[in-house]
Every structure is written in C-alpha cells, then in structure tokens.
Amino acid sequence: MLIEFLGDVPLASLDNRVLEKFITVTYGRTHSGAGLYYRTLKASFSKAVDWKYLNENPLKKVKMPKLPKAIPLFINSSELMKILEHTDNENLRDIFNLDFSR
C-alpha cells in the first residue's frame, strides 16, 4: 500500500512528513488498517536500521492516530438474564444459553 501511495521510491527518501501523510490518509479509510500499517512499517523500518539500510527510523517521530476503543464481544451473566427475560421464543432462549456457556 505504501508503494501504491508513494510509488517505488528509495527507502532513504522516506521522511516522517510523507509517512505521516500515508498514515493519515489510511486512517481516513480504515482506523484499524492504519494501526496495522503503522505497526508493521515501524517494525520494518527498525529492521532496516538494524541492517544498515537506514540511519534512523522515519516513523519514530510520527504518532499513531488514536484508535477507537473496540466494543467488547461478550456479555456478562446479568446481561444474559435481561435478554432472556425479554425473549419469548423458546428456541432463541436455548440458543442464547448455549452460546453464553461456550
């Protein structure tokens, strides 16, 4: 995605301003995708520094945009009880109970 965004440019020409723009544009499309690209690129550039392809990591000075907190994918037993109290369909009640016990 970075090559699509910038073209096939040498690593040494990448600076924090260009990379920040890439992360910001990506964040506008997908918050979690921007986080993934940021972490992956930062680790890759750190490895490039270790291997002497770069003098320093250009993402070191770029802050990751704040990611929204993920909504928990679970409920507690009191929430299950509220759902069951308002569910008249016996089949659905059985499904809810079965899913909760996993």
Task: Give the tens place of pLDDT for each residue, 18-72.
Answer: 999 999 999 999 988 899 999 999 999 999 999 999 999 999 989 887 877 777 6
Structural domain count, the chain:
2
| Whole-number Å distance between alpha carbons of 31 and 25 | 10
| Whole-number Å distance between alpha carbons of 93 and 102 | 15
**What does each C-alpha distance from 94 to 13, 74, 75, 81, 101 come to in angstroms?**
60, 17, 16, 12, 11
Residue 14 domain-assigned?
yes
Domain encompassing residue 16: 2-61
Give me the mean pLDDT over the 6-11 stretch.
91
**Same domain, residue pair 80 and 57:** no
* pLDDT score of 102: 61
Q: Is the pLDDT of residue 97 over 70?
A: yes
Residue 19 domain-assigned?
yes
* pLDDT score of 72: 67
